[in-house]
Amino acid sequence: MPTAPDAPAAGTLADGLLGQVAEQLGRPLPACLQEAFQRVPRHRFLPDRIWLRDGSGGYRPVDRTTDPADWLAAAYTDQPLVTHFTGGLPSSSASMPSMVARMLLLAGLTEPNGPDQAPLRVLELGAGTGFNAGLLCILAGDEQVTTIDLDPDLAATAQENLKRVGRAPTVVAADGAGGWPPGAPYDVVLATFSVDHIPPKWLTGLRPAGGRIVTPWTSAWCSYGTLELTATEGGQAHGRFHSFASFMPMARPHAKSHPPTTTPAGDDSAAFSATGLSPWAVAGGDLDAEFHIGLTVPGASYSWDTSGDHAHTRLQIQDPATGSWATVDYDGRTAAEFAVTQAGSRRLWDEVTAAYRRWEELGRPSVDSYGLTVTAGATVMWAGSPASPVAES
C-alpha cells in the first residue's frame, strides 16, 4: 500500500529518532525495523494535544496549533507521550519508541521468515493510537495483523490514523483479556499494556509449540518488566522476564475498584513491633528487590507519607481486598530501628520482610533472572531456573 503524503521534515526527524533508539538499545535496529519507523510517521498518530512529563511528577500539555515546532519535535523524541486522560489520570499514551522496538525484537518479528514458512499472524492487544499496529503491518503484512482496544473511540481513532498512512489491519473494539478468537491461531500475541497474570484466552489463541507472547508486567507493588513466553505442547508456555518497560495496566470493563485501606490509630486488631529492615530497602527504588516482592506478596501495594502528621516519614502498606494494612515509621533520628504497626488478616510487613530476606538468600537476582511457566493447573514464577520457584498461582 502507498504511504500517505507527509511533512517534509518527518523523514529527517525519523532518522534522528532512530539514532536515539539505537543509542538507548546500544545497537542499530535491524534494517526491516528501521524501514518500518521510516514508513510509519509517528506524528501522524498523535492528537493535536499531547502531554509530556514536566520533571516534577506531573505533565505539561503541548498543543500542535499553538506550538507546532515543539509538538513535532516531541513526536520524534524517544519518550512516551500521554494522549488521553480519564478521571485526571493518564489512560492512553504513545509508547516510548525504544520500548516499542525492544518488544518487537522480543516477539521475533524482525527475524527473517524462511521461504517455506507462512507469514506470521499477529494479535496486538491495545491499539492505542495505532502507531505500533502500523509498524506491525510493515513487518508482517496488513492482512496478518489484528489490533484490538477496549475503548471503541480509541479503536476508531487508531483505524482512522492507520488509514491515513495507507495501512489496513483488522481493528476491533473488544476486551483484550479475551484475545480475538476469530483470527486465531496467532504466531505472536503482543500486549501494549501491563498484566499481573496471563489471561487463559491468550494461550488458547496462540499457535502451539512456538507461538510467542510478549507483554509488559505489573504487580500491586511494582509495575516493571516485560515477559516473553513461548508456547509448548499441551497449552503450556515458558519464558523469562526482561528489565525494561513500565506500562499502564490492562483496563477491564466494569472493573470494581477497592477503596483505599485506612489505618485508624485505634484499631483493636493492630499489632505493634519494631524492625531493623529499612522501609527504603523494599520501597525505595531498587527495582530488582521490588519486582521480587511484587511476585511473592500478591495484592500488597505501598505509598509514602511525608506529611509529618504521624511520623517523620511513614511507609504505608495495604491490601484492599482483605482490609489488611501496615505502617513502618522513621522518626527522623535513627535508621537502625523502625516502628511497625500491622492489622488485618494478613501481617503485611512480615510478608514483605520474608520476601526481601528470600531475595537476599537467592543472591539478590535481577529482574532478568526471573521466569514464568504456565501449565494447565498453575502458573509458577521462578528465579534462575524452574528448579527454584518463588511463587505460584
Active-site residues, by number, are 95
- Written as nine digits, the cell of 27 is 545497537
If you write DSSP's letter for every residue of 206-265 in order, what string do you get?
BPTTT-EEEEEB--SS----EEEEEEEGGGEEEEEEES----PBPP-TTPPPPPPPP--T
Across the chain, the runs of DSSP E, i.e. the strands, are 49-53, 59-63, 81-86, 89-94, 122-125, 145-149, 170-173, 188-191, 212-216, 226-232, 236-242, 271-275, 301-305, 313-319, 324-330, 338-343, 370-374, 379-383, 389-392
Q: Which class for 322: exposed (0-12), middle (13-18), buried (19 or more C-beta within 10 A)?
A: middle
- Residue 33 CB contacts under 8 Å (≥ 6 apart), including other chains: 101, 104, 105, 110, 135, 139
Specify the pairing of strand 170-173 against strand 188-191.
unpaired
For residue 114, count other CB atoms closer than 10 A to its CB. 7
Is residue 323 within 8 Å of 344, Cβ to Cβ? Answer: yes
Whole-angstrom Cα distance, residue 283 to residue 63? Answer: 36
Whole-angstrom Cα distance, residue 118 to residue 334? Answer: 65
CA-derived radius of gyration, the chain: 23
Pick from 237, 169, 227: nearest CA to 205 = 237
